[in-house]
Amino acid sequence: MKYQSFNEEIIRLVGGKENIQAVVHCMTRLRFTLKDRTKANTEELKALDGVIDVVSNNVAYQVIIGTHVSEVHAELISMLGLTPSSDEESKIKEKKNPLKAAMDLLSETMTPVIEPIIASGLLAGFLSLFSITGLISVDSPTYQLLDSIRSAVFFFLPIFIAMSCAKRLKASPYLAVALAVTLVSSSINDVSGLSIFGIQLPQIVYANSFIPIILAVWFMGQLTVLLKKYVPKFLQYFLNPLLIMVICLPVTLLIFGPIGIWIGDGIGWFFEVLHNTFGSWIVVMLYAAFQPFLIMLGAGNFMMPLALNFVNKMGYDPIFLAAATISDLAVSGAMLGYFLRAKDSKQKQLFGTVSFSALMGVTEPAIYGAFIKFRRPFIAVMIGGGLGGLFAGLTNVKTYSIVWGLMGLPSYADNQDFSNLVFMIISVVIGFVTATISAYLLGIPQDEKETQTKDLSKETVPEKNSQLKKVPLNSVVEGNVVPLAEINDQAFSTGALGKGIGIVPTDAQIVAPVSGEVSAVFPTKHAIGIKTEQGIEVLIHIGIDTVELDGRHFDTIVEQGAMIERGQLLSTVDFAEIQKEGYDPTVIIVVTNTTDYLDVIPAAKESVFTDDECLTVIL
């Protein structure tokens, strides 16, 4: 058996045969369902020769192998005493921890809503700055009109939340918005003396809130599934929307509204006790130090609901938004330290770019593009962010608007609180400078694999007279381009599977980016491999975690071994249905043997058509 010793090590490092409930494979990775994940030695498994990376999330415990994973899997299930069919039948979905599931939902729901929140928060900051400097009077019509953007965004927050979380909770976005609009209407919002079916309703402010509408939309999703099951199909189009609204509104007013307020009050009480017992400084310090880890785990936005709750209840956030800003600036400082330390021009360009991005409040490119690879910047941010957060916590810095990042600093002077602004600026400077110095002193670790690749590349540089120097790869689908570092899958975003690009599709047809042989078609039809005559190995991965759809919504018409031409139709995909089931439709195209070539360069375009070049492989 070709991979026997390799599989023996994998079995040992995931906790032994007795710890494995099931194991299936995707296009590039083994997906384990483990009885106890704590028994798995993840770090040692990551270091195992032949393993690209290990990703542990709520989907599965995933060991990324590469495109030859099917061969590894075939031997692995044989060693485990399974067969491919029995393995598929025994596939067990792990149950989500309820708390983690709730936090995931909050984080995913807040992500699309952040855009209007950032706009309104930054506007509040600049208006505060303009009023302080006397450029605009608070009583002027101009100020009041511009400030209406901020007030409207937060007043109608339940509507944004309803639209954002409806699809994830199997509810109609339009019915969810209709319910949210009803809750914030003048006939219900903060109205006393209301009753329904003879039952008195408490006076509740639904504007600015988020927990009641999330609970209500969850109930709407459950009710939608139930009605589709029991209401005759010929009546569903007319009857289901009416039943959903007539049932959901009373249930929300009687149950979810009060529960949401209790939860909000409970969160406030918890942090009040924490503040009175230990001081909020410890939370500010820890969050500023460890935010990059939360972003890497996909939980970077979990603090947003907590910050919103603070602002709604207290008029300011004493913890999270200031800590997030300090952490972002510390990330920028760490990358500046690497920029100053780096000698290679490509590295300098990378560190300089991601440092500026983090300075503007977008840290994902730095975290996925540099932190995961070099790891030492995490330590620099823990030092710089921790010290900056400690100072902010001890001086009781308050964030008066839902805003973070460098551009939001003027908002800290709201209510004429100039000392608050000064303390925040000092905190940010501490975090930035300390992280810069720490990263510079920690240095850039030497990547042996990268060095070997560079040496090999120097030997294989084509001569000036060589006719073939590059191979262009066309887009596989029409859509909007997404940088690989921003894709919501760590195996791709870190570049572990090779360089490439992501495309958010606006068309249903997947076509061949280059001529060659179809080297693989995954049974669930969500991934296709192509090998060109030059030996370039291209992986087309349609959607994220869409292996779980088991081929639904995919109509793949090519088979393994087929010879194809550039632009030839490979598959037709119903992306609307994929999104309805809660999956990210982003199509990813990567060159899995990137290290065999001088470089793989993504095209600098915001959108592409199928005849547009999206990648260039330098031979």
Tell me which residues are annotated as active site: 26
Taking Cα atoms as reference points, which of 280, 375, 275, 364 lies closest to residue 327? Answer: 364
Spatial CB neighbours of 466, under 8 Å, sequence gap ≥ 6: none
Instruction: Give the pair of three-digit tokens for residue 104.
Output: 């995931």
What is Dmax (Cα atoms) for the chain? 89
Residue with tokens 């598959």: 571
Instruction: Give the pair of three-digit tokens for residue 43.
Output: 């770090």
Residue with tokens 């919501």: 488
Instruction: Give the pair of three-digit tokens for residue 6.
Output: 């390799």
Neighbours of 583 (CB within 10 A): 19
Angle at 503 between CA 502 and CA 508, to 5 degrees: 140
How far is it, in rounded angstroms, from Cα 287 to Cα 273? Answer: 18
Spatial CB neighbours of 488, under 8 Å, sequence gap ≥ 6: 298, 544, 584, 586
Q: Say if residues 227 and 236 touch (Cβ distance below 8 Å).
A: yes
- The single-letter DSSP state of residue 188 is T
Instruction: Give the pair of three-digit tokens for residue 120.
Output: 């309104």
Neighbours of 28 (CB within 10 A): 27
Q: Could you tell me how far CA 386 lies from the centroid of its own chain?
A: 24
Inter-axis angle of helices 320-341 and 345-359, to 10 degrees?
160
**Identity of the residue numbered 464:** K
- The single-letter DSSP state of residue 317 is B
Provide the residue count of the chain.
Answer: 619
Q: Say if residues 556 and 571 touch (Cβ distance below 8 Å).
A: yes
How far is it, in rounded angstroms, from Cα 376 to Cα 442? Answer: 7
Q: Say if residues 328 and 405 touch (Cβ distance below 8 Å).
A: yes
Phi, psi of 368 (to 5 degrees): -80, -25
How far is it, in rounded angstroms, from Cα 358 to Cα 367? Answer: 9
Taking Cα atoms as reference points, which of 329, 344, 418 lies closest to residue 380? Answer: 329
Q: Say if residues 162 and 184 touch (Cβ distance below 8 Å).
A: no
How far is it, in rounded angstroms, from Cα 444 to Cα 375? Answer: 9
**Helices within 445-525 (DSSP H only):** 448-459, 490-493
How far is it, in rounded angstroms, from Cα 479 to Cα 424? Answer: 42
Spatial CB neighbours of 68, under 8 Å, sequence gap ≥ 6: none
Q: Say if residues 378 and 292 touch (Cβ distance below 8 Å).
A: yes
- Stretch (H or E) spanning 386: helix 376-394
How far is it, in rounded angstroms, from Cα 593 to Cα 617? Answer: 11
Taking Cα atoms as reference points, which of 502, 619, 545 lies closest to residue 57? Answer: 545
